[in-house]
Amino acid sequence: MKNIAVTGLVIISVGFFINLYSFSEKTPFRFTDGKDTINPVSLINPEIPALLSGEKAINHKGYTLLYNESHEQASWVAYELTSAETKKLFSRTDYSGSGYDRGHLAPAADMGWSEQAMAESFYYSNMSPQTPGFNRGIWKNLEELIRSWAVEYGSVYVVTGPVLKSGLPSIGANKVSVPEYYYKVILDYSKPDVKAIGFIMKNTSSDKSLSNFAVTVDSVENITGIDFFPSLPDTHEAIIEKELCVSCWIWERQNTEYVPEKQSTSASVQCSEYTQAGTRCKRKTSSPNGKCWQHGGD
């Protein structure tokens, strides 16, 4: 959506969400000679949202973000996730805060293809306060589903972040805002079907199916004031972002867990895990899974 005008505070109401979920099922846009043909064009970083005057994005190896000083967290984090990048090669231990989890916006598991990308996913600029039930539950399920989509479709573009507004509660000496809602938008810009989908989820635990939180990309733009996928041709963007086709996406998650190659039992290597301090474990192991006895080696 082009030229989004934000004239006041974003207010999320019950009525808004009723309208948000009242959509008609659409079919995907195939690469044919039909009326709604979408022929992909070569794009550079299509996942990066439009920047307003004076805004400057921060680039890391695995993702790009726009930091919001007022709320002490990113307004958005964007990255491309390919099928090959779901094959995890590096890992670090999870950690949680007191009361709220330090929720990753770009998931550490999506950055396992590079040691540097993995390390940078633990920067505080990639963190946002999330309730444990949300971070370890439905939000984690959505992250796993998106990795499954990257495998299924070859590559997806992901933008994620908190819904920021004035008046949010805060934690810590730096007054880090605690968002009430989080969003994700995902673009599959590949043959045979071009499609996009958005999610808006409350920062609390939920047992609902992920498809219940699916919305149009336009809906996410309306409540965040962010223009997603601005590098798409205008005609493509208008079609993709206004429609929602829930049945066009595969909702059964695939197993994307990386299985390391079996190592020789006669060769000892450094443990692949990390300590609580964030440093590489120095123990040697000959376990097939690459972990020492303390980190679950066989």
Among residues 60, 71, 104, 295, which one is catalytic? 104
C-alpha to C-alpha distance for 263 and 287, rounded to whole angstroms: 7
Residues 237/230, Cβ–Cβ less than 8 Å: yes
Instruction: Indicate the helix (H) or strand (E) that contains 130.
Output: strand 127-130
Residues 161/182, Cβ–Cβ less than 8 Å: yes
Could you identify the residue written with the tokens 């499609």? 195
For the question of residue 104 being annotated catalytic, the response is: yes
Widest Cα–Cα separation across the chain = 67
C-alpha to C-alpha distance for 70 and 111, rounded to whole angstroms: 27
Cis peptide before 169 (omega within 30 of 0): no
Could you identify the residue written with the tokens 């809602």? 181
Q: What is the CA radius of gyration of the chain?
A: 20
Of 28, 63, 33, 30, which Cα lies nearest the Cα of 45? 63
C-alpha to C-alpha distance for 213 and 183, rounded to whole angstroms: 10
Q: Say which residues have a Cβ less than 8 Å from residue 252's Cβ, sequence separation at least 6.
A: 148
Cα 33 from chain centre: 33
- Residues annotated as part of the active site: 104
